[in-house]
Each structure stands twice: as structure tokens, then as C-alpha cells.
Amino acid sequence: TIPAGLYATLIFKGGREESLKNYQILLEWINRNNYIKIGSLIKFYHLTTFHTNNHNNLISEFQIQIESL
């Protein structure tokens, strides 16, 4: 179960090589908008290698629980 609260969310297309870049983008957004991270990264995979062989078409979602400064 995911705790109730406010989350910063980023959905992106691409393989694992895109993950770190997008995680950094999410953290930068959190800092730039005067929030702090209060939870761990949660990952959802919407389109996986089970659905496609093309890693460029994978769809992932990152969520981090946040609160205002």
C-alpha cells in the first residue's frame, strides 16, 4: 500500500539508460518548487519488455512523496 499524501510524479519513455536522468529531473523539480522529499522512490512500469521488444518504447513512472518547505 502506498501512503496517502502529496507526490511528485514523472512519467517517461525509454529504457534504463533514461532512468537516472529522469530521476535527477524529478529531484530538481522538487527542489526548485520548494518541496522536500519525505519518501523513497516508487517505480511503476506501464509498458515493459513483456509488451514490446523496443526498449525505446518502455513507459515508466517515478513517484516521490513530498511536502512543502
Low-confidence ranges of the chain (pLDDT < 50): none
pLDDT reported for residue 20? 93
pLDDT reported for residue 38? 97
> Residue 39: enclosing H or E segment and its boundaries?
none
pLDDT tens for 35-49 read 999 999 999 999 888
pTM of the model: 0.87
pLDDT reported for residue 51? 79
pLDDT reported for residue 2? 87
Of 5, 69, 64, 3, residue with least CA distance to 37: 64
Task: Round to whole Å and give the CA distance between 19 and 21.
Answer: 6
